Amino acid sequence: MSEEELMIKQLFDEEKLTDKQKQIIIAAIESFSEKGYSATSTSEIAKKAGVAEGTIFRHYKTKKDLLMSIVAPLMAKLIGPFVVNDFNKVLDRKYDRVEDFLKATIENRREVLIKLLPVIKILLQEIPFQPELRELFLEQIAKKIFDRVSIIIKGYQEKGELIEMPPESVARLAITSILGYLFSRYVLFPHLEWDDELETDRTIQFIMHGLGKKE
């Protein structure tokens, strides 16, 4: 059993679910992650879980109720604390150069993404379409990380290492670039040949210098 599967199992053990509910949830996580929420039918989940489709609806009124019953506890008890606390290892250190901070950030987020890939894929796929999920993400993860990154960026600006721009805007642009690289690497195009060290360096170069040629 992988580390991610063990963490999820322990979490749902705490939720005091029946064995059939656990089978349904594990099957739903796999199916939602592989095909997306919209493209997954409850009959597929039931088949994968080894239960009758009616069993799903005895526990969950709709497919969306099933989605939220998975994501809400995962976000509150596993993903939020894990993502935030793990990233604090980066945020609590001092880096001489912005590039070193960015590289540590990319490597840290890469490790988290790999460990929790099936669940994070569900979040990335569904956050744009599920307002409740978006609110959970903002409350449990985004706000806690964004504020701290903005403070660190302001410190580098005060040392003259970053351009004058609202720290929140710099944080948004940097985070978007990093997540875009990781999303492409592990979700959109995982089977392409990747030179991770080179792509990390290119992402940092893009954040620091953009795409315009220097005069």
List, for residues 78-135, the tens digit of each pLDDT value: 666 666 777 888 888 889 899 999 999 999 888 878 877 887 888 777 888 888 878 8
Q: Which DSSP string do the residues of 42-61 spell out, in sequence order?
A: HHHHHHHHTS-HHHHHHH-S
Q: What is the mean pLDDT of the chain?
A: 84
In this predicted model, which residue has the larger pLDDT, 143 or 176? 176
Q: Above 90 in pLDDT, residue 214?
A: no
Tell me: the pLDDT tens digits for 2-17? 555 555 565 565 556 7
Are 113 and 186 a contacting pair, CB within 8 Å?
A: yes
Confidence of residue 25 (pLDDT cuts 50, 70, 90): confident
- Tens-place pLDDT, residues 45-92: 999 999 999 999 988 889 988 888 877 777 766 666 666 777 888 888
- Answer whether residue 44 shows pLDDT above 80: yes
Angle 171-150-139 (CA atoms, 0-180°, nearest 5)? 90
